[in-house]
Amino acid sequence: MAILMVVGLLGCTTHSSSEPQPATAPPIADSLDPKVVAKLAYLDSLRTLDSCGFLDPAALEQITRPAYIGAAGEFDSCTADFGGEVGPKRIAKVEFDMGMIGQTGFGTPVEVGGTTIRVADSGGEFCSAHLRFDDQQTVAIRVFTAPARATRGPMP
C-alpha cells in the first residue's frame, strides 16, 4: 500500500529541465518621460563631484586651520568649521554648497578674471559668493560669522 501511495504521488508531480526564470520587466527608463531620464542622468553625473574638493585648503589656512572639514552626509555641500570665532571678523565656518539656479539678479555682480560672481552680505551673519556652475546649477561659498555675544551691564 505504501508503495502505491509513493508511486501515486510521484505521478502527480512534474519536473522541468530548466531553472525557473524571473518575470522580465522593461527597464525603468523605458517607462519615464525622456526629460526625466535626462535629468536623472545629469544628477547622477553630479554625484561624482567631491564637494569638499571645492574648498581650497591654502585659503582656509589663511583664516586658521579648521577644526572640522566634511560633507556631513550631504553630497552637494561641505563645511569647514573653525570651532569658534576666528580673527577680527569672527569667522566661525565656511561652507560650499551646490544648488539649482535660483532667482536671477541675486547679489551684486563682480567680475573676477572674466567670470561674473554674484556677492551678497546678509547683514553681518554671513556673506556669500555665487557662481554659475552650468546651465542648471550654481555653486556658493558662504562665510559665517559667530553669533554676536550678548553684552550685559552691571547687575543692579
Q: What is the pLDDT of residues 7-66, one digit of tens each?
A: 344 444 455 556 666 656 556 667 788 888 887 777 776 666 788 888 999 999 999 999
Per-residue model confidence (pLDDT) at position 92: 94
Alpha helical stretches, state H, 26-148: 34-46, 57-63
Task: Give the span between the Cα atoms of 106 and 140, in whole angstroms.
Answer: 12
pTM of the complete model: 0.63
The secondary structure element, H or E, covering residue 73 is: none
Structural domains of the chain, ranges and CATH numbers in brackets? 43-145 (2.60.120)
CB 99 within 8 A of CB 138: yes
- Mean pLDDT across 121-127: 82
Task: Give the span between the Cα atoms of 85 and 13, in whole angstroms.
Answer: 78
Per-residue model confidence (pLDDT) at position 88: 86
Per-residue model confidence (pLDDT) at position 110: 92
Task: Give the span between the Cα atoms of 65 and 51, in whole angstroms.
Answer: 19
